[in-house]
Structure 1
Amino acid sequence: MHKVEDLKIWNKSIELTKAVYLLVSDLPNDEKYGLSFQIKRCSVSIPSNIAEGAGRNSNKEFKHFLSIANGSTYELQTQLILLTELNLITKEKVQPVIEKCIEIQKMNYTFQQKL
């Protein structure tokens, strides 16, 4: 078992989730239950799956949950791109959050290789 608070990838994913919540707060109200809801759910899934994996009994189980978290980062990245494609928010606002996603994807891959 791993202490989740000590995991850099978990801490980075918490930062990502906070950035996502701030970003979607700028979206129009009619997106409250649409894309913004899905984006928030997806972002919360990342640290949640890392935490669940850290609490499992084996590295094999942990890798499985890291894999799910990684899928959520790619899903989130796609949804963030959609925000700009739909002209709901500017690329300049979204790009730093996408960069956080990419950083976590790289960290996740490296971490899985080390387990």
Structure 2
Amino acid sequence: MTVWQKAIDLACGVYALTRRMPKEETYRLVGQIIRCSSSIAANIAEGNARGTRRDYAHFVSIARGSAAELETFLIMIRRLRLAPVEEIDPLLEQTGEISRMLNTLRLRLRGAANGPHP
């Protein structure tokens, strides 16, 4: 499974989590975690469509930033007890895995941009 597919799965999991959060969080954390979770897959797709490895690496870096933002919000949601831990922790694990995959992809793209194609 590619990092883009995993990012789509993560965004869908975040959407499911937000449906069960308190209504008063709709315009607070809910909107922010939906935006940053969907931004991960969207930036991977946009970077891939750009056509150059350098551009792709740039958008992968942006996706990594969105993943870090999502991780931060999920930790806040857990600490504030706005959702069950058993629903948040798998999303945190997915976010960590995706972050590691994005880091590897970015390093490969940057290395490939500076040297011969693999």
Calculate the TM-score normalised by the size of structure 2. Answer: 0.89
1:61 paired residue among 52, 55, 65 = 55
Q: Which residue matches 1:89? A: 83
Aligned residues: 109
Identity %: 42
Q: How far apart, CA to CA, are the structure 2 residues paired with 1:113 and 1:69?
A: 14
The Cα of 1:96 is off from its aligned counterpart by 0.1
1:112 paired residue among 88, 106, 109 = 106
> Is there any run of 5+ residues in structure 2 with no aligned partner, and where?
110-118
The Cα of 1:57 is off from its aligned counterpart by 2.3
After TM superposition, the runs of 4+ consecutive aligned structure 1 residues lying more than 6 A away are none
Q: How far apart, CA to CA, are the structure 2 residues paired with 1:9 and 1:85?
A: 28
Q: How far apart, CA to CA, are the structure 2 residues paired with 1:57 and 1:79?
A: 32
SS in 2 for 1:31: helix
Structure with the bigger percentage of helix: 2
* Matched ranges for 1:1-115 at <5 A: 8-115=2-109
Q: How far apart, CA to CA, are the structure 2 residues paired with 1:101 and 1:111?
A: 15
- When Rg is computed on C-alpha atoms for both structures, the one with the higher figure is 2
Q: Which residue matches 1:4? A: none
Q: How far apart, CA to CA, are the structure 2 residues paired with 1:79 and 1:107?
A: 20
Q: Which residue matches 1:3? A: none
Q: How far apart, CA to CA, are the structure 1 residues paired with 2:37 and 2:71?
A: 10
Q: How far apart, CA to CA, are the structure 1 residues paired with 2:81 and 2:3?
A: 31
Task: List per-residue Cα deviations over 1:42-88 (Å, max 9, x = no partner).
Answer: 11100000010001121001000000000000100000000011121
Aligned-residue CA RMSD in angstroms? 1.0
